[in-house]
Amino acid sequence: MITSASNLAPGQCLSMRLEAHAPICVGLDPVISRLPDSIDGADEVAAIERFSRGVLDSVVGITPCVKVQAACFERYGSRGVAAMERVITAAVDSGFLVILDAKRGDIGISAAHYAAGAAATGAQWITLNGYLGEDGIIPFLEAGLGVFVLVRTSNPSGDEIQSPPSTHGTVAGLVGSMVGRLGASRLGANGLSSVGAVVGATKPEAAAALRTLMPDAPFLLPGYGAQGGGVDGVRAALDRRGGGVLVTASRSIIHAFVGRTGDWQQHVKDAAVAFAEEISGLVADEGH
């Protein structure tokens, strides 16, 4: 079990986890149509909760972090939200660092309400849409959360908004500069900020440029593997210490049992172990 460090700033807590474990994050994106046959789907909320808890049991001790996709639970209304909160509680009790993948994006009292609600779930980090500027970010930091701001996402159509041809730089660069500025005053004792960035592993050149704008920000890297991201994307995102990245995988881990026989949780565990070894090896090679 991973040692709890709930009294530490989010950036410092994340740094400690990354020093002791593979820099990976497993996404919990439960979809009722893709559950193991052994899980009764008659009650969909109960089914996705049981599946999520089974994934947690399978990857504990392998990954320091899980990312809970709020949409998968919120679609079921209040029962789904209650199930999500129970899953988060179970994850925290098992020692995981939890990212609430909710992509909030508002300001003022609305942002304060969203921040309080996110903190109340027990999650330590949250994903945010930074389009409204730092006014939409600071309330979450004030609530004690670490934040991962969408900067350069892995989806192809994001290029139109995030990286249009321009003599004035890109929108991603503007958001990255804001993240770097906000994070500079929120560094942990070991140098990692509580203000992070979502940067797709599918965009190596962008990741390298953005790293110069955010030298101390943890990078949450989606898109590795199934979406086409690979070694180059992770390498480009590493900070000057050869770390600072959290590489995410969801479907390739939690659906590793598809098309296979036997214990579904063992397949999930095996996939998580292989992913952890692959990313640990990559980061270790680059560190030298």
Alpha carbon of 58 to those of 94, 125, 253, 269: distances in Å?
11, 22, 10, 5
Which active-site residues does the annotation give?
A: 103
Q: For 56-79, what is the mean pLDDT?
A: 98
Among 182, 245, 180, CA closest to 216: 180
Determine the Cα–Cα distance for residues 218 and 188; give it in Å rounded to an integer: 11
β-pairing verdict for 97-104 and 65-69:
parallel
Query: What's the confidence (pLDDT) of residue 3?
Result: 38
Instruction: Name the burial class of residue 6, with classes exposed (0-12), middle (13-18) and buried (19+) by CB atoms within 10 angstroms of its CB.
Output: exposed
**Domains contained in the chain, CATH given:** 10-287 (3.20.20.70)
Query: What's the confidence (pLDDT) of residue 6?
Result: 54
Q: For 213-219, what is the mean pLDDT?
A: 96
Statement: the pTM of the whole predicted model exceeds 0.75: yes
Q: For 70-83, what is the mean pLDDT?
A: 98
